[in-house]
């Protein structure tokens, strides 16, 4: 007997994941700005204060460095903190704690101290929140050894990645895209856990690999649909885990299709897509049939005006054009 698929929003999936974690492990708790009474800036933690009480849903001052530091201390002391940082733009205030402590202590203690901390951050643009609330900085964090960086792009990953992240003894950063919160998707009740190691082919295709993550995933899937109508079978690979990169999956896909388009909402220069492109040049050079192309955000602070914001971010048409040029140049 199979249960009917469960339809829910990405936001609800995040909420259920947190609720599950709180129910499953008395050591876990949530802290962050406005996570309690207000229910979370993106309403992810709505109702949890009422259910779990103020000892496990902690409203904090507007002090990212302090929140993160306290989270690291709690993790070192044996708890399983889930720290929410409102948007990754603000996480820069906590960068010292994240890099110099969370990512470093397990190494500097010779493995004696684990930091089983999870930090959830909202990321990305597309909702007219302007240049201080719309950037995609996950690529920066993916630069740092000692961290795991996750980017759930589906409702299923939003629902199940948290549990795997909490089970990991390393600090794990989860980047939830603000546009995805309202997206709906089906959950297969048979799936009760996901791994946080592997990239996944979300749509198989023969002629070009579109490699992406986060909110660029639905855009890439829409692009693949449009490309299919033009007779170009495109594969969409969802990275899911930005650090460490699942290079075997990336290489397997590109060696098969011989072409790669990397879609990354970060700025192009020094981005995660730059890293992947470099590795493809390094490890898949003789398998390539075309240059590696990237679709990234324009190198400007994300604009407020809707039409400018749309122009600044990767869009379906950009992805289609990039892939088409590699497969069927005019």
Partner 1 sequence: MSDAVADFLMPSLGADMESAKVVEWLVKPGSRVKPGDVVAVVETHKGAIDVEIFLDGVIEDLAPLNQQLPVGALLAHVRGTGGGGTQAPAKAAAAPVQPAPVPSPPPPTAPLSGARGRVSPAARRRAEEAGIAADSLHGTGPDGAVTLADVELALSAGPKPAPAEPARAGRSGFDPAQMRQAIAAAMGRSKREIPHYYLGTTVDFHAAQTWLDGYNASRPPPERLLPAVLLLKATARALVQVPQLNGFHGKDGFSPGPGIHIGWAISLRGGGLVAPALHDVDRQELPALMTSLRDLVQRARTGGLRSSELTDPTITVTSLGERGADSVLGVIYPPQVAIVGFGRIVERPWVVAGNVAPRPLVTLSLAADHRASDGHLGGRLLAAIDEALQDPANL
> Among all residues, which ones are annotated catalytic?
64, 133
Contact window for partner 1 (CB under 8 A) among 31-39, 180-188, 192-200, 282-290 = 282-290
Asked whether the bond before 282 is cis by omega within 30 degrees of 0, the reply is: no
- Given a contact cutoff of 8 angstroms between Cβ atoms, the answer to whether 226 and 233 are in contact is no
Q: Helix axis angle, 272-283 relative to 247-257, nearest 10°?
A: 60
Angle 146-171-26 (CA atoms, 0-180°, nearest 5)? 155
Using the minimum distance from each CB to partner 1, give the nearer residue, 188 or 289: 289
Contact window for partner 1 (CB under 8 A) among 77-85, 150-158, 219-227, 284-292 = 284-292
Task: Give the three-state DSSP class for 31.
Answer: strand
Burial class (CB in 10 A: 0-12, 13-18, 19+), 215: buried
Task: Return the residue of 20, 34, 225, 325 that touches partner 1, per CB under 8 A.
Answer: 325
Residue 287 in contact with partner 1, rule: CB under 8 A: yes
Residue 321 in contact with partner 1, rule: CB under 8 A: no
Q: Helix axis angle, 155-167 relative to 10-24, nearest 10°?
A: 30
Strands 200-203 and 234-238: antiparallel
Task: Return the residue of 6, 251, 290, 321 that touches partner 1, per CB under 8 A.
Answer: 290
Using the minimum distance from each CB to partner 1, give the nearer residue, 46 or 255: 255
Using the minimum distance from each CB to partner 1, give the nearer residue, 55 or 282: 282
Nearest by Cα to 323 from 249, 247, 242, 231: 231
Using the minimum distance from each CB to partner 1, give the nearer residue, 288 or 308: 288
Task: Return the residue of 1, 285, 299, 307 that touches partner 1, per CB under 8 A.
Answer: 285
Contact window for partner 1 (CB under 8 A) among 30-38, 122-130, 219-227, 286-294 = 286-294
Using the minimum distance from each CB to partner 1, give the nearer residue, 92 or 290: 290
Residue 291 in contact with partner 1, rule: CB under 8 A: yes
Contact window for partner 1 (CB under 8 A) among 17-25, 76-84, 184-192, 321-329 = 321-329
Q: How far is the CB of 285 from partner 1 (least distance, A)?
A: 5
H runs (alpha helix) in the chain: 10-24, 48-52, 64-76, 95-96, 105-108, 138-141, 155-167, 216-229, 247-257, 272-283, 306-312, 316-327
Residue 25 in contact with partner 1, rule: CB under 8 A: no
Residue 258 in contact with partner 1, rule: CB under 8 A: yes
Residue 95 in contact with partner 1, rule: CB under 8 A: no
Using the minimum distance from each CB to partner 1, give the nearer residue, 228 or 281: 281
CA distances from 304 to 125, 160, 161, 268, 307 (A): 10, 33, 31, 20, 9
Task: Return the residue of 103, 118, 250, 326 that touches partner 1, per CB under 8 A.
Answer: 326
- Given a contact cutoff of 8 angstroms between Cβ atoms, the answer to whether 205 and 150 are in contact is no
- Given a contact cutoff of 8 angstroms between Cβ atoms, the answer to whether 61 and 68 are in contact is no
Nearest-angstrom CA–CA distance, 200 and 202: 6
DSSP string for residues in 163-219: HHHHHSSS-EEEEEETTGGG-EEEE-TT-----SS--EEEE--SSEEEEE-TTHHHH
Residue 256 in contact with partner 1, rule: CB under 8 A: no
Task: Give the three-state DSSP class for 82.
Answer: strand
Residue 329 in contact with partner 1, rule: CB under 8 A: yes
Contact window for partner 1 (CB under 8 A) among 99-107, 108-116, 280-288, 307-315 = 280-288
Q: How far is the CB of 280 from partner 1 (least distance, A)?
A: 11
Task: Return the residue of 107, 289, 305, 306 that touches partner 1, per CB under 8 A.
Answer: 289
Which parts of this chain interact with partner 1 (CB under 8 A)?
A: 258, 285-291, 325-326, 329
């Amino acid at each position: 007997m199979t249960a009917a698929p469960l339809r829910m929003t990405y936001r609800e999936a995040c909420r259920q994941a947190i609720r599950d974690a709180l129910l499953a492990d008395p050591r876990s708790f949530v802290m962050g700005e406005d996570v309690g009474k207000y229910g979370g800036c993106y309403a992810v933690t709505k109702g949890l204060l009422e259910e779990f009480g103020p000892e496990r849903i902690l409203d904090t001052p507007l002090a990212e460095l302090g929140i993160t530091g306290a989270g690291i201390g709690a993790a070192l002391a044996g708890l399983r903190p889930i720290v929410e940082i409102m948007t990754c733009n603000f996480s820069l205030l906590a960068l010292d704690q994240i890099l110099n402590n969370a990512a470093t202590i397990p190494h500097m203690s010779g493995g004696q101290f684990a930091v089983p901390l999870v930090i959830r951050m909202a990321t990305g643009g597309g909702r007219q929140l302007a240049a201080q609330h719309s950037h995609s900085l996950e690529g920066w964090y993916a630069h740092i050894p000692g961290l795991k960086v996750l980017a759930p792009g589906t409702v299923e990953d939003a629902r199940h990645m948290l549990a795997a992240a909490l089970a990991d003894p390393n600090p794990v950063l989860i980047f939830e895209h603000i546009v995805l919160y309202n997206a709906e998707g089906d959950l297969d009740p048979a799936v009760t856990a996901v791994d946080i190691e592997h990239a996944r082919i979300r749509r198989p295709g023969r002629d070009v690999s579109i490699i992406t993550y986060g909110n660029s995933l639905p855009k890439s899937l829409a692009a693949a649909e449009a490309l299919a109508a033009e007779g170009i079978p495109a594969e969409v690979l969802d990275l899911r885990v930005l650090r460490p990169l699942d290079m075997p999956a990336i290489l397997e896909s590109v060696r098969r299709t011989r072409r790669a388009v990397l879609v990354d909402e970060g700025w192009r220069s020094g981005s995660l897509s730059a890293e992947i492109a470099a590795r493809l040049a390094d490890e898949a050079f003789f398998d390539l049939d075309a240059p590696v192309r990237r679709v990234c955000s324009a190198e400007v602070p994300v604009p407020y005006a809707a039409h400018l914001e749309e122009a600044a971010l990767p869009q379906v048409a950009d992805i289609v054009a990039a892939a088409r040029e590699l497969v069927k140049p005019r």
